[in-house]
Amino acid sequence: MKASLESLMQEGRDVVLRPLAEASTLPPGFYTSPEIFALESERVFRRNWVAVGRASEIPNAGDRFRIDVAGEPLLIVRGKDGAVRALSAVCRHRWMLLGSGAESSGTISCPYHKWTYALDGSLMAAPLMERADGFERENCSLPSFGCALWNGFIFVNLSGEAAPLSHALAPLAEEFTPWKMDEMEVVGRIEFDQRYNWKVLADNFMEAYHHFAIHPETFEPNYPAAISHADEANGPYAALRMPHKDDGLSDTLFKPLDGIPERARRGFSVFNVYPSMLLAVLADSVIWYRMEIESVDSFKLTVYLLAHPASLDVPDVETLKTFLREGTFAVHMEDLPACEGVQRGLMSGVARAGRLSHLEGAIHAHQKWLIGELARP
């Protein structure tokens, strides 16, 4: 590790690895340094489970979609055996990217020279290769990566060495059981191109401290900043609880499922499943912020709006879906100037690590975890 990078890591340890009442944020260099970003790609995103999509997006054999994780081009495919696989999206011939064509097909065909692969990644055909001495099709399969389903979400692991996902997230899975997330449908999707560091959004998502300033009409009247609180960290995730003012029932668009706990009906919770899966869990729906992280200061954000089919059995449901989409879009547009302003402020020569409020415990938990992951050799 370079001396400058090591000194930044030491500064991070010094200010973050303290009790919350004494702690500060990660130093600005953690949000702006290309070296830190490269370290995150290697030690955080390539080593841990990363959520990439919903199983319902590829319901049938041959369905697929493209996504990059830590710079690795992936093709997420439903096989003829029903299994979901994470395959390399790089042709074994001359590295052309795969998956730019049809969203569903019985094979995977390279648009460059028509090398063709089965849905499990094995090479089926390589035109005009008969004069290549020693060429063996069986040695040219697409590499595959760790892939797991959890609550209907597709996760991938590039290292192949991560602990089983279900074990790490068992307590969270138990909490989510009443929502039947694995059966939820995608009822809306919103895309944004973002020009700031991914952790700026993670920080913003995991605190309600800003409600009275950024969301004075949308959130603060019913979900006041002052009564929000973070759970004690007990796994590779953070949870922030936002109770409804005066313990009142939250308004819902759809019909909450039987069995949704009373606490969830009188507020809502947001979660960061490390490293970067941001979830808002409401009584009648779930909102997922998926980040496709491209560089130290840019990522593609896709906001998924999810609801259970039984919850959608309400009058004028299409109008309500539109209302959910428009409301979610409006909330992010309120957050966007704050996130962009933070990124500009981080570039200042006098920017320093800032002290944390007691309302920012979920940020503190995430940043302690990140420091630990970045320090792992």
- Quick check: pTM over 0.85? yes
Q: CB within 8 A of 102, min separation 6: which ones?
A: none
pLDDT at 310 over 70: yes
CB atoms near residue 328 (< 10 Å): 19
Band (104; pLDDT cuts 50, 70, 90): confident
Band (341; pLDDT cuts 50, 70, 90): very high
- Looking at residue 254, its pLDDT comes to 98
Angle separating helix axes 317-346 and 198-205, nearest 10 degrees: 120
- Looking at residue 234, its pLDDT comes to 83
Q: CB within 8 A of 155, min separation 6: which ones?
A: 49, 50, 51, 52, 147, 148, 149, 165
DSSP secondary-structure letter at 79?
A: -
Q: What is the pLDDT of residues 151-207, one digit of tens each?
A: 999 999 999 999 999 998 999 999 999 999 999 999 999 999 999 999 999 999 999
| Residue 294 host element (H or E) | strand 286-295
Domain regions of the chain by residue span: 3-44+171-375, 50-161
Q: What would the mean pLDDT of 345-369 be, rounded to a whole number?
A: 98
Which tokens is 183 given? Answer: 């059966």
Task: Tell me the CATH class for 50-161.
Answer: mainly beta
Band (101; pLDDT cuts 50, 70, 90): confident
Domains 3-44+171-375 and 50-161 agree in fold: no
**Amino acid letter, 40:** E
What's the mean pLDDT when you consider all of the chain? 96
- Looking at residue 377, its pLDDT comes to 85
Smallest CA-to-CA distance from 70 within 110, 33, 43, 34 is with 43
Count of residues for the chain? 377
Q: What would the mean pLDDT of 61-67 be, rounded to a whole number?
A: 96
pLDDT at 5 over 80: yes
- Looking at residue 137, its pLDDT comes to 87
Calpha distance 362→270 (Å, rounded): 10
Q: What is the pLDDT of residues 229-263, one digit of tens each?
A: 999 988 899 999 999 999 999 999 999 999 999 99
**Portion of the chain with pLDDT greater than 70, in percent:** 99
- Looking at residue 1, its pLDDT comes to 57
pLDDT at 2 over 70: no
Calpha distance 25→10 (Å, rounded): 13
- Looking at residue 372, its pLDDT comes to 97
Q: Is 3-44+171-375 in CATH node 3.40.50.720? A: no
Band (3; pLDDT cuts 50, 70, 90): low
Which tokens is 21 given? Answer: 């009442």
Residue with tokens 């009247």: 221
- Sign, CA torsion 123/127/130/133: negative
